[in-house]
Amino acid sequence: MRHLLTMSLVLAAVGCHQEAVLAPNAASRLGLSVAVSAPSVMAGQPDTITITLANSAPDAVTLHFGSGCQILPYIADAHGTLVLPGGGGWMCTAALSQRTLAPHQTQTLRFVWTGSTTFASEMPLLPLPSGLYYVFATLEANEARLTTTHVPVQLQ
């Protein structure tokens, strides 16, 4: 009898765990997109990168991050090599962070790129050679991992 009770509790726990796994996840309710103000820019001239996170759900979504980095912009050259951030990766604080989006809310981030390995607000600005580059963004939370499409920008 004791064995049967233990077996029932184990099966009930497994059933509950499966329901939690099959519940809709945040990634299916979120959209991440990127746009640039100009598809072709002269080196040194500003190009505004706009990243938008959207919650399409009728309820709020809270994302939990393992660091201070939440939504990260990237720029790769025509060969797929990351040129921004310089060195290939962002430095993030070790502090846990979170972001909540209300039902049907969007949040927008903007960055200004001038054709260098850093953003205009950072130093030193190291100019990149002219050519085709691709702008994209990522979000890596406990609940969702999202990557935008790669948007081409011709640097002249």
The alpha carbon of 114 is separated from its chain's Cα centroid by a whole number of angstroms, namely: 21
Helices (H), the chain: 2-22
Domain boundaries, the chain: 25-155
Q: Tell me: pLDDT of 149 over 90.
A: yes
State in words which class domain 25-155 has: mainly beta
Q: Which residue has the higher pLDDT, 32 or 43?
A: 32
Q: Tell me what pLDDT residue 121 has.
A: 66
Q: Tell me what pLDDT residue 19 has.
A: 25
Assign 86 a pLDDT band (cuts: 50, 70, 90).
confident
- Percent of the chain at pLDDT above 70? 78
**E strands of the chain, at which residues?**
30-36, 40-41, 47-55, 61-65, 71-77, 82-84, 97-101, 106-113, 131-140, 145-147, 151-155
Q: What are 129-141's pLDDT values in tens digits?
A: 999 999 999 999 9
User: What is the pLDDT of the chain when averaged over all its residues?
Assistant: 81
Q: What are 12-25's pLDDT values in tens digits?
A: 333 333 222 223 56
**Nearest 10 degrees: Cα torsion 130, 89, 146, 139:** -120
CB 138 within 8 A of CB 30: no
CB 106 within 8 A of CB 50: no
